Amino acid sequence: EACKNVPKYLFRMFWANSGNDSRLNTVSAVTPHAFLYGRNHNTVYDMTRSEFVDNTNGHVRGHKSIYSEFSSWSQSPYFPFNYAMNLRKQLLQSKGIHIAIMDTERLVTTNPAFHVGALGKIFEEFEPDYAEEYLVHGVVRGEFYKAVPLDSLLERGLLKHLPNLITSEHPLANPGSTQRLPSGTPFEIGELHDLKQIGLLYGKTFSIPFAITLFCCRKHPDLWSTMSTNDLKKIVRILGGNEEIPLEWAASRTIFCDGVYPEGYEANQQMVNVMRALHEYAWGKGARGRE
């Protein structure tokens, strides 16, 4: 159960000194302590049950005596965004702060992910307030991982489009901190032009998913549960045409199966609604006639 309901896209904030070692988090890879110091198992399945429990428990609780084989990620894009902005306030600068994205479905064989909330229910080891956190085993790298400096995102207009990221002078609390989106005006579809430019920073693999993620970080009255054909046509045109909508979404449990995301996270619900509707429009019945 803990590794079954893992969202396709997970997000992470890090800065150059995360984990007190600049080698742990880079634009090339996220490397857990155990892998950096040669204290790791080859795969998570080589761990005994007690080793797995001790390692995940030690990671979540921050036990310094544990060489963690995992890195922490969030299904909520708002969490790393807010965390990054609060860290920026504390440091009085943005240098070294990055926002990363990974595709768990493409990396499932090398980097299996586990929902901390579900692990807590299984092992009775964690507090029941880790709905946002996922533990990813191993070194995360390659085509299906990408990290971009916060400064680059800000230069492309991140705060212009998501001004509510500046919400607090204090670090976010863990439980439920980004479930409900701030109130405000939803995005107009035309604003996707600018969001696409931000998404392009993440390269071909992630440019469209990241642009849509940003689009879903402002609350629509019905969470985009209904989208007209005209709206979908406009969105697809802005994104570059039907062929730019990932065909492989058809095999994604995240997009086409309910219950993958924890309940109550509005940005994630909007992501599911928009991605599902776009895929049906671009690749579903009658798609050729809509080109």
**Segment holding 137, helix H or strand E:** strand 133-137
The predicted structure's pLDDT at residue 127 = 63
Does residue 174 share a domain with residue 141? no
**3, part of any domain:** no
Asked if residue 1 belongs to a domain, the reply is no
For residue 223, CA distances in Å to 121, 202, 229, 274 come to: 29, 25, 16, 9
Check whether residue 203 and residue 77 sit in a common domain: no
Q: What is the pLDDT of residue 58?
A: 92
**What is the model's pLDDT at position 184?**
79
Domain region containing 100: 9-149
Report if residue 74 sits inside a domain: yes
Whether 29 is covered by a domain: the verdict is yes
Q: Report whether 220 contacts 273 (CB < 8 A).
A: no
Q: Which of these three, 121, 149, 177, is where a domain ends?
A: 149
> What value does the mean pLDDT of the chain take?
91
Q: Is there a contact between 11 and 80 (Cβ–Cβ < 8 Å)?
A: yes
Q: What is the pLDDT of residue 175?
A: 43
Which phi and psi (to 5°) does residue 184 adopt?
Answer: 155, -170
| Close Cβ partners of 139 (under 8 Å, ≥ 6 residues apart) | 29, 30, 31, 32, 35, 111
pLDDT tens profile 200-223: 999 999 999 999 999 999 999 999
Q: Decide if 162 is inside a domain.
A: no
> Does 4 reside within a domain?
no
- On whether both 182 and 133 belong to a single domain, the answer is no
pLDDT of residue 128: 60
Q: How many domains does the chain have?
A: 2
For residues 191 and 145, state if they share a domain: no
Looking at residue 176, its pLDDT comes to 47
Q: What is the pLDDT of residues 95-140, one digit of tens each?
A: 999 999 999 999 999 999 999 988 888 777 766 668 889 999 999 9
Note whether residue 160 is domain-resident.
Answer: no
Same-domain pairing of 190 and 135: no
Tell whether 32 and 143 lie within a shared domain.
yes
Asked if 131 and 200 sit in the same domain, the reply is no
The residue from 149, 176, 211 where one domain ends is 149
Is the distance from CB of 9 to CB of 99 less than 8 angstroms? Answer: no
CB 262 within 8 A of CB 75: yes
Q: How long a stretch of residues is the chain?
A: 291
Query: What pLDDT is recorded for position 290?
Result: 59
Q: What is the pLDDT of residue 2?
A: 75
In DSSP terms, which residues pair with 90 in a beta bridge? none
Q: Is the dihedral of CA 131, 137, 140, 145 positive or negative?
A: negative
Q: Is residue 211 part of a domain?
A: yes
pLDDT lower than 70: segments of the chain: 1, 126-129, 166-178, 286-291
Rounded CA-CA distance 132/4 in Å is 15
pLDDT at 131: 83
- Residue 171: its pLDDT value, please? 52
209 and 238 part of one domain: yes
215: closest CA among 288, 178, 162, 177? 162
Burial of residue 162, with CB atoms counted within 10 A of its CB: 0-12 exposed, 13-18 middle, 19 or more buried: buried
Tokens, residue 211? 């642009």
Residue 35, both tokens: 């892998």
Considering the domain architecture, whether residues 114 and 240 belong to the same structural domain is answered as: no
pTM for the structure as a whole = 0.94
Smallest CA-to-CA distance from 93 within 172, 199, 15 is with 15
The CA distance from 159 to 111, in Å, is 32
The answer to whether residues 178 and 240 belong to one domain is: yes
